[in-house]
């Protein structure tokens, strides 16, 4: 899962928003923004920034990102359980304009992602 936010959003603010998620039992950072979130029930979300992610996207995809958030930074989330990453993405999307790439062919503006989750709480983009 990749979430694009404006590069003007301080990493400290992103970290603070993510670390305030309900159900988070432990958050251990390895420095900067990169780190690990652990939720109850042995659920984990690993997160990091990736300045080279543009290499993996088509120019039109990056234009859509820029049209939504301007100059951007990419937040990568690897997860062991879908509800944990949903909570993580929601923490970002509720606070800042963003673009969510689900890594399974779907790309959504943050508000669109939130609407879809509200309409379909059990939505699993990996099965679409």
What is the domain count for the chain?
1
* Partners of 43 in the β-ladder: 39
pLDDT tens-digit series, residues 25-45: 655 554 545 666 666 667 777
CA separation for the pair 57, 54 (Å, rounded)? 5
Domain that holds residue 23: 2-127
How much of the chain exceeds pLDDT 70, in percent? Answer: 84
CA separation for the pair 68, 70 (Å, rounded)? 6
CA separation for the pair 30, 35 (Å, rounded)? 5
List Cα–Cα distances, 7 to 13, 18, 35, 44, in angstroms: 12, 16, 19, 25
pLDDT tens-digit series, residues 81-115: 888 889 889 999 999 999 999 999 999 999 999 99
Stated pTM of the model: 0.87
Burial track 19-30 (b if 16+ CB lie within 10 A, e otherwise): eebeebeebeee
Burial class (CB in 10 A: 0-12, 13-18, 19+), 55: exposed
pLDDT given at position 106: 92
CA separation for the pair 4, 2 (Å, rounded)? 7
Q: 3-state DSSP helix/strand/coil percent for the chain, to nearest 5?
A: 40, 30, 30
């Amino acid at each position: 899962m990749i979430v694009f936010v404006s590069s003007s959003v301080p990493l400290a603010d992103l970290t603070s928003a993510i670390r305030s998620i309900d159900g988070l039992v432990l958050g251990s950072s390895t420095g900067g923004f990169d780190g690990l979130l652990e939720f109850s029930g042995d659920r984990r979300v690993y997160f990091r920034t990736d300045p080279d992610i543009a290499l993996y996207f088509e120019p039109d995809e990056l234009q859509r990102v820029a049209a939504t958030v301007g100059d951007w930074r990419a937040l990568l989330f690897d997860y062991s359980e879908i509800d944990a990453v949903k909570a993580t993405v929601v923490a970002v999307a509720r606070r800042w304009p963003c673009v969510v790439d689900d890594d399974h062919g779907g790309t959504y503006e943050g508000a669109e992602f939130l609407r879809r989750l509200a309409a379909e709480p059990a939505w699993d983009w990996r099965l679409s």
